[in-house]
Structure 1
Amino acid sequence: MSSQYFVFGIAAAITIGVQSIGFTLAYALRTEIFYDILGGINYLVLALFSAISGSDKSNDTSTLPWTKDWRKIVATCLFICSRGWLLIFLAWRAHERGGDARFDEVLGKKGGRMKPLTFFVYWMAQAFWVYLISMPLLFINSSSVKQSDFAAYDIAFATLFGCGVLVEIVADIQKALWVRSGRPGHFCSVGVWSFSRHPNYFGEIFQWWCLWAFAQSSSESNRSYADPLWWACIVSPLFTMHILLNMKPTGLCNAEGENLQRYYDKCPEHYSAYRNSTSILIPMIGYRHVPMLLKRTIFFDFEKYEYKPKEDNSSKKE
């Protein structure tokens, strides 16, 4: 068990180190261009570090433990595919947009002074996010348990993890192609976007729940379901959900609510029909028939995501 905590500790130090280097470069050059790139690289560094630093209980030292455990191989390869795509996509998007508007005020691009402390907090927040997301993979690769063949449980969650990664990639590509084609129809409702208003966020959340469940088989505890370290790794999907469902700078809070005004101004009836018949997160058919109580609870279509037009102050005057 101590070897697992050692890997987790070193991984934390690596994460802080990578982000600190990124902040130093970005601060010196007064740019945010390294932010998403270093975040993606940090994921890949942790994946490779945990793969080569893992251990097992066999006496065979001719090969790395990682190469003898299919659970570690599958989890690491899918993780690298997921975070590698994120790195490529975010770097491409930043290039297409000419930067990241989130940092305009922090970097003083709007005429104000640069806020170095706030800028540093951004980088450390990303370090926190990268580390928490990576915890299930660190758990799997640091395990010294001699694994048996894949069970049905392993196959199921490995497949579902891969499906989550695929949904996110397909959603990102379809949205990018739609934007490139001139945004026909004012809002994206092509491909997987016809089954979910935010399939990319669904894929991101779903894959980390699946990886956490998949990690259970790598527990060193005699009672794997009671392993405290495995349960600690549940912060990976929970934190992802919190970021994408509740944080205003990103996720649903940024995409829904008052930001829907552009759709209601241009095509109110068309967008309203799409919104009522399309799940906010979980891809599905027949959403229009789901009772509002279920939409507001298990389907995450909370009232805070509704568009509420601002009242015209002049109309209040008597």
Structure 2
Amino acid sequence: MSKAASLAHICLAYAVALAVAAAWLLWGPDLALWLDALVADLLATLVVFGFSRYHHNSSFYDAYWSVVPPLLAVYWWAAGPLGADDVRPWLVTTVVVVWAVRLTANWVHGWPGLAHEDWRYPILREKAGRAELLADLFGIHLFPTLQVFLGMLPVYVAVTVAGRDLGWLDVVAFALGIGAVTLELVADTQMHRFVRDRQPGQVMDQGLWGWSRHPNYLGEIGFWLALALFGVSTVPTDAWWLFVGVVCMVAMFLGASIPMMEERSLERRPGYQDVIDRVPRLLPRPPRRRAA
């Protein structure tokens, strides 16, 4: 199947998923605004899961990570009490939209089509044995949906609560969010060029990747942290729970995503051990010199 046809299948799946979510929001029980959105999000995820199982490819879910957050932000803002003259919702929604456009575009650029599935998914299903369907449902689909929803809760606060007036923390959050997206964009651009031109066995240790082994994940963490700061700026008294989402993101990246990526890199490119020895895992600093 061509890439264009594959993308058409993905778009169909997401259109059906969002239609189901919209039906819930329009005709389902009238719950709290955030809870309505959560149920709609989970229902849409189940639809995507159905398409994943039908096509035997869990990468149907991949773009869902970045497609849904701007829809949540816009829905919450439109359904909440704040109007178009409130500046903070504009700032946080702009950050979310810019992040979503960049990440989705990067996925489209790098995804070859339905002949490809993220290499981590078969590993997770295989490890689950007879429970592979549950691993697919919960580990690959529902868990990331809940993870993203937790990260978006500060946005819910920022676009629905008439909290503290716009202040310096909003400026910091906006700058951090745009800066984090820019970091991801530069990192991904550098990696695309490297993959295009690399020699067999060559490892990436140039540009941002010479200062951090995972600058893309660093940017992703910066984005979710920016959202948390918007929430804190809105309601400082709720700061104790507004960082739950970003903490979960950091735990996932450090505890699962990065270790799996590095284990695979070592298996495929033994020279990657030299990068590990010289370049910090996440927080950037100048690389160490190669051993003589």
TM-score (norm 2): 0.76
Which residue pairs with 2:17 in the alignment? Answer: none
Q: What are the equivalent positions in structure 2 for 1:1-318 lying under 5 Å apart?
A: 6-56=32-82, 65=83, 67-95=84-112, 98-104=116-122, 115-121=132-138, 122-145=140-163, 148=165, 150-183=166-199, 186-219=202-235, 224=236, 226-227=237-238, 230-247=239-256, 250=257, 252-257=258-263, 259-264=265-270, 267=271, 272=274, 274-285=275-286, 288=288
Distance 2:125 2:276 in 1: 36
How far does residue 22 in structure 1 lie from its aligned partner after superposition?
0.7
Distance 1:53 1:131 in 2: 17
Higher Cα radius of gyration? 1
Q: Match of 1:256, SS?
A: helix
Structure with greater proportional helix content: 2
- Structure 1 segments (4+ residues) deviating >4 Å: 105-108
Which residue pairs with 1:299 in the alignment? Answer: none
How far does residue 212 in structure 1 lie from its aligned partner after superposition?
0.9
Which residue pairs with 1:310 in the alignment? Answer: none
> Structure 2 vs 1, CA of residues 33 and 156 (structure 1 numbering), >3 Å: closer, same or farther?
closer
How far does residue 114 in structure 1 lie from its aligned partner after superposition?
9.4
Residues paired across the two proteins, number: 255
How far does residue 236 in structure 1 lie from its aligned partner after superposition?
1.3
Cα deviation code 1:248-296 (max 9, x no counterpart): xx2x2112357424443xx47xx62x444422211223x549xxxxxxx
Distance 1:89 1:196 in 2: 20
Unaligned runs of 5+ in 2: 1-30
Cα deviation code 1:65-89 (max 9, x no counterpart): 1x21221111111111112322222
Greater displacement, 235-244 / 84-93: 84-93
> Structure 2 vs 1, CA of residues 113 and 232 (structure 1 numbering), >3 Å: closer, same or farther?
closer
Q: Identity rate of aligned residues, in percent? A: 22
Superposed CA RMSD in Å reads: 2.8
Alignment-mate amino acid for residue 54 of structure 1 = G
Alignment-mate amino acid for residue 146 of structure 2 = F
Unaligned runs of 5+ in 1: 57-64, 290-318
Q: Match of 2:63, SS?
A: helix
Distance 2:135 2:189 in 1: 32
